[in-house]
Structure 1
Amino acid sequence: MRVMGIDPGTVVVGYGVIDSDAGRETMIAYGVLTASVKEKPAQRLSILYKSLEKIVLKFKPDAVAVETPFVSQNVSSALAIGRAQAVALLAATNRGIPTFEYSPAQVKQRVASYGASSKEQIQQMVKMQLGLSEIPKPSDAADALAVALCHLSEVHVSGLLGEQTPKRKRRSV
């Protein structure tokens, strides 16, 4: 199974692609897609959408997992990231690829077994679980790989429980 994880942002979107075969995960690719802060928000979203479409077409994932925005004090930031999240979901859904969404706490729980793990702890776990010699850079790409690992863990647990897909996480756009 090939999973693409996406860490959405309004200017930078991280992506990570992982293959899983018989419980062995292999990192295929990771990176970031960027849009200039000088562009208007709608134009940035269009640029990110087109870039994500190209990545989806290139790597042909079986599933796309997207991190949901964290809402704290700044609701407008969460709404802006939510738009970038929608762009990521559309890039996959328009190609018929199932999409799944995970909160930051869910990603932390699945990857590091602790829902309040630090960013550094998650990056170390990504490095360890994928057998990498160093932490993927930039951090947006490492976060995207963590989202992909989260989904693979969820699929594994669902398989143990006899479910076909993690139903509560799946979203249709």
Structure 2
Amino acid sequence: MSNCVLGIDPGYGRMGYGVVETKNGIAHCLTYGCIETPATMVLPDRLYAIHRAVVELVREYTPRLVGVETILFQKNVKTAIAVAEARGVVLSAVAAAGVAVVEVTPTEVKQALTGYGKAEKQQVQYMVKQLFRFTKVPKPDDAADALAVAIATEGQGRF
């Protein structure tokens, strides 16, 4: 097992991931990106594609811990259910690999990155950019959000 955290920003069309390792108190981004599933795929196939991708990320980076953001209130119930199902697939894949999971709320992520639990999304993304000394905010937004989840997970002393 390595000394890194895998952060996940749940979704079923696009799920962000970010892998962060801390050395001597300094966070380093190992990788980030998105697991994307086309809308033309049926939901079970999309969920299986997410499962395979998460298993591969865990296999490649061997994180000590995986942080998964909890779901915000969704006005669209159908979307909320699909995101919850995708999130469940992630939790199951990580548990099957024997890696501990930490669930973090959006407020905890905002608090960890900006010091203010009601910060705007742009403020969190700016802090991700600054923390990793990126020249610009990682795109898509889901990837930047996943890096923020990884940092929040580590920052809660659960690393």
The Cα shift of 1:90 comes to 1.5
Q: CA deviation at 1:146?
A: 0.3
Among 25, 28, 50, the residue aligned to 2:27: 25
Alignment length (residue pairs): 157
* Corresponding residue number in structure 1 for 2:83: 81
TM-score (norm 1): 0.86
Alignment partner, residue 18 of structure 2: 16
What SS is found at the alignment partner of 1:81?
helix
3, 6, 10: which one pairs with 2:8? 6
Q: Output the CA distance in 2 between the equivalents of 1:105 and 1:79.
A: 21
Identity %: 35
Question: How many angstroms does 1:11 deviate by?
Answer: 1.1
Once the two structures are superposed, the pairs formed by residues 72-111 of structure 1 within 5 Å of their partners are 72-111=74-113
Shift of residue 78 of structure 1?
2.1
Question: Shift in Å at residue 73 of structure 1?
Answer: 2.8
Amino acid at match of 2:115: S
Residue 45 of structure 1 corresponds to 47
SS at match of 1:96: coil
Give the unaligned 5+ runs of structure 1. Answer: 156-164, 167-173
Q: Tell me the equivalent position of 2:135.
A: 133
Pairs within 5 Å for 1:150-161: 150-155=152-157
Counterparts of 2:56 and 2:48 in 1: how far apart (Å)? 13
- Shift in Å, 1:74: 2.8
Select the residue among 32, 53, 56 that pairs with 1:54.
56
Instruction: Give the partner amino acid of 2:20.
Output: I
Deviations 1:31-87 (A, max 9, x none): 111111111111110111111111111111110000111014333322221111111
- For the aligned residue pairs, the C-alpha RMSD in angstroms reads 1.4
Name the amino acid aligned to 2:114: A
> 3-state DSSP class of the match of 1:66?
strand
Alignment of 1:115-130 (within 5 A): 115-130=117-132
- d(CA) in 2 for partners of 1:21, 1:79: 38
* In 2: Cα distance, 1:102 partner to 1:78 partner: 17
Structure 1 residues 89-141: Cα deviation after superposition (integer angstroms, max 9, x where no partner): 12211111100111111111111111111111110001111222221111110
